Chains A and B, each alone.
Chain A
Amino acid sequence: MARTRTTKTVAQRIDLNYFKRPTPFKRAKLWLAILAPAIALVWIGWHVLGRDNRVYSSGRLSEAHAVLEKECAACHVQQAGGYSAAAADSACLACHDGPVHHATNVSVKLACAECHVEHRRRVNLAATKNESCAQCHGDLSPAGRDSKYFKHIRTFADGHPEFAALRSAAGTSASDSGTIKLNHALHLRLIRRGPSGPMVQLDCSHCHRTTASQSMDWPYGDARYAAAAPTYNGKDEFREVNSRGLTARTPASGRELIAPPKFANACAGCHLLTFDTRFDEGVPHDIPQVIHEYLVRRFAKYIATHPAELREAQNPLRNLAGRENRPATRSVSGAQWVAERVAVSEELLWHKTCAQCHAVSASTLQDVRIARWDTGKSSDQKSPSVSLAVLELAATERLLPEIANANITLQWLPHSRFDHDAHRGFSCSGCHQNALTSTETSDILIPGIATCQKCHAEGSDRAESRCFECHTYHDWAKRKEAKPTFTLPALRSTGK
């Protein structure tokens, strides 16, 4: 017969007290409910007994403060029996100073922790957020209506103006005030080295290098010029800068900025300062007075060993048609010979060699008759063939020209830091594209902000673009030394 199943019979199978019996599932639930909090309690108790407060920390400390990881009280100083929730400024200043920033213009006093937020893992504490700077620079209007700074800068991409050096002012385009005549486009083409030298292709590093790289070999330099100590100084060479940024915390390595090119390193290999066919060497690269003295000294020394040259026979081939006949020979004194040669050399130098690169002013042309065969004088005449007055004048400084100050700009972005060394993997022309086509000295060849923003932008695949990357907040020139607070090895065990 078939099996039957009724409510009654089914109910009979059930134990009325089944819920009182622990099942494996109930037992597991109970034990786990006891075990999990117990484990948590043991874990916390372990840290309490070990006096290890790191477990309560809201995050790991920055690299600089990693050694204080266990020492909460070092920053959270005790106040009224308890600990301050926020790190006190006094705790920060006990170890290191934080000089003020534009003391006269800062309208709000910020606590250290407002910008330098700790417990955010092993981050660089100096890498502050843009928002910290934008608290003021996002709207500078209330702070200073007459401020020369842009009033609404929030990020590098939002409100940051074009670099000051490249900004046009009063309708005129920005220009380089340097006076050295240099055609970049010409120098970056295939050019001949000297009048009869080989063809060469220059690249940027043949002339431009960082300060720390100056000692390396210069392919187009001249060791003699490099060894010489010129009398001109930085004031003659470099532009005076009125506006400077805040002093950085770390000293410069010398690899950040490109040093201004030196004649001895970059030019002397091609631009020879030769002045007379009798000599291979050129004049010193120096001020006119030094050059004049050098020429006088050099010719005097020469004529002392070559007296025969005081009597000179005319070269008939150089007798131009239509000119009056000149004497066949002429003799001059040593002083006169030196004066003549110096005058001729200086004429060449002031009006051609030097003027090729420098702005040479107040230089009058010498009497063209100098050192030439004068008319109406007998061949045996011992007197000078040129006016003595002219020679005397030539020997004085009054006739020496003035070379304009080079006025080279040492730092184009004085309110920020730029590190060429950090960009050494990139070709110069990638950023300084204008150099390839620039023909004028007045062209400013630093790249604009748009070039920087190609890489320095927000996003994980872009370079750092926060304010601190280029600017500094604290004026480290006003830094004060702090008294030592911690002692090793005591710090590792007690904290003090």
Chain B
Amino acid sequence: MLIDRTQRGWGLASLGIFAAALVMYFLEVSISPQGPRGGSAIGLIFGVLGFGFMIFAAALGARKRVPTWRVGRAKAWMRGHLWLGLLSLPLILFHGGFHFGGTLTRVLMWLLIVTVASGVYGALLQNFIPKKMTADIPLETIYDEISHVRGLLREEADRAVESICGDVGLAKDVSGKIQRAGGFTALRPIAASAAPLRTSAAVSAGASAAVAPAAEIILLSETESAPLRKFYIEEMRPFLEQSKSRGSLLADEARASSIFTGLRTLLPAAAHNTSSDLEDICDEARQLLRQERLHRWLHGWLLLHIPLSLALILLGAVHAVMALRY
């Protein structure tokens, strides 16, 4: 969620609550010879409010799980989660008088700190990573489908290479029988070969390839195709197969461009189009890798934030009951 002008109302309200809490805290400090305590009237108010805000923030998860609930707008829930969750930290610090107390309260305090800190971190990341993703990754796809799309790219590249080098025994179908968007039940290659199919889908999409005249199919000799064959098997295919870009020359855009330029000098002119297609596939695969990396940054903090917040709510409830008992 973007922290922008639309958050002003929530921001000001939170600031007001924080200011009021601060005044109350200093009032308690001034009237309590031994300093503020969680068991005092004001301390209990802080505790109840802080825990209430935590529960509200945690309820966002339930609200997301059941989107059909008509309890406020999702945006309002998200803003409440952000601002009230943030407010819970100072309120609980006031509740404990900035003392971490015993074992349970100490665990609770650290859980709260880590949960709030990870939430703030996530909120900050969400303010600039999506923008960066839009700018840097024009070929972005759905994160969950990245590994599958990478397989399709590899298949496409295999076919492109085999179309001019002959069978090198690489092509494998990864599509399977799955329901796909676009009204097809089976994958149609984007540019499966140098001679594309005139499919109804291609025609309706108005793709230039679909209306272009069929190109001449050229099969390179063993000697001519050797550089491409070697490059593809040793460099490009491993790059398309692996989910991590580390160590591959093709992971770097400038170096990849340089490699493909060099490759084209070794290949006959008839193979240059295929070489360009391979470069294009590499570029898309590189973008998907980058998307994966950014996605991990963008959502990785949730692996900490959600479990800890659930533990916090559970232990907080135990603390509330036992603290009132003793």
Contact = CB atoms under 8 A, between A and B. Distances in A.
A12 B318 CA distance: 51
B182 A11 contact: yes
Interface string B152-194: 1000000000000000000000000011111010011011001
Contacts of B179: 15-17
Contact of A1 (B35, B181, B194): B194
Interface stretch (A37-45, A354-362, A453-461): A37-45
Interface in A1-42: 1-19, 21, 23, 25, 28-29, 32-33, 35-37, 39-41
Interface stretch (B3-11, B84-92, B102-110): B102-110
A255 interface: no
A12 B182 contact: yes
Contacts of A351: none
Interface stretch (B49-57, B117-125, B257-265, B273-281): B273-281
A192 interface: no
A129 B180 CA distance: 73
A134 B38 CA distance: 23
A15 B191 contact: no
A56 B148 CA distance: 50
Nearest to A28: B303
B33 A36 contact: no
Contact of A13 (B141, B201, B325): B141
A72 interface: yes
Contacts of A391: none
A32 B306 contact: yes
A253 interface: no
A11 B302 CA distance: 28
Contact of A58 (B33, B101, B194, B204): B101
Chain B: number of interface residues, binned into ranges? 35 or more
A16 B180 contact: yes
Interface string A49-64: 0000011111110000
Interface in B187-221: 187-188, 190-191, 194, 196, 201-202, 204-210, 212, 215
Interface stretch (A113-121, A139-147, A197-205, A399-407): A113-121
B302 A56 contact: no
A85 interface: yes
B240 interface: no
Contacts of B281: 3
Contacts of B313: 37
B299 A25 contact: yes
Contact of B205 (A7, A15, A117): A7
Contacts of A1: 191, 194, 196, 209, 212, 215, 273
Interface string A116-158: 0101100000000101101100000000000000000000000
Interface string B36-47: 011100000000
Contact of B323 (A2, A10, A44, A58): A58
B207 A21 contact: no
A132 to B, nearest CB: 5
Nearest to B180: A12
Contacts of A32: 303, 306-307
Interface string B103-147: 111000000000000000000000000000000000101111100
B102 A4 contact: no
Nearest to A41: B314
B306 A131 contact: no
A56 B33 contact: no
Given A15-B179, A18-B145, A55-B102, A85 B190 contact: no
Interface residues of A, number: 56
Nearest to A39: B311
A279 interface: no
A341 B319 CA distance: 93
B306 to A, nearest CB: 5
B181 A11 contact: yes
A4 B325 contact: no
Given A13-B187, A23-B144, A8 B182 contact: yes
Contacts of A13: 141, 145, 148-149, 152, 180-181, 187
B60 to A, nearest CB: 13
A14 B145 contact: yes
A2 B209 contact: yes
Interface in B304-326: 306-308, 310-311, 313-315, 318-319, 322-326
A251 to B, nearest CB: 29
A82 interface: yes
Nearest to B190: A9
A4 B103 contact: no
B99 interface: yes
Contacts of A114: 33-34
Given A10-B141, A32-B306, A40-B311, A119 B101 contact: yes
Nearest to A73: B326
B161 to A, nearest CB: 13
Interface string B251-291: 00000000000000000000001001100110000000000
A132 B34 CA distance: 7
Contacts of A377: none
Given A4-B208, A57-B102, A129-B34, A9 B201 contact: yes
A79 to B, nearest CB: 12
Contacts of A11: 180-182
Contacts of A115: 33-34
A58 to B, nearest CB: 4
Contacts of A9: 182, 188, 190, 201-202, 205, 207
Contact of B273 (A2, A7, A131): A2
Given A12-B201, A117-B34, A33 B310 contact: yes
Contacts of A44: 104, 315, 318
Contacts of A119: 101-102
B325 A135 contact: no
Interface of A: 1-19, 21, 23, 25, 28-29, 32-33, 35-37, 39-41, 44, 54-60, 72, 76, 82-83, 85-86, 114-115, 117, 119-120, 129, 131-132, 134-135
Given A37-B311, A40-B314, A129-B33, 14 more contacts: A2-B276, A2-B280, A3-B209, A3-B281, A4-B210, A12-B188, A13-B145, A13-B148, A13-B149, A14-B141, A19-B144, A40-B315, A56-B322, A83-B325
Cβ-closest 6 pairs across A and B? A36-B307, A131-B33, A57-B102, A12-B182, A8-B205, A32-B307
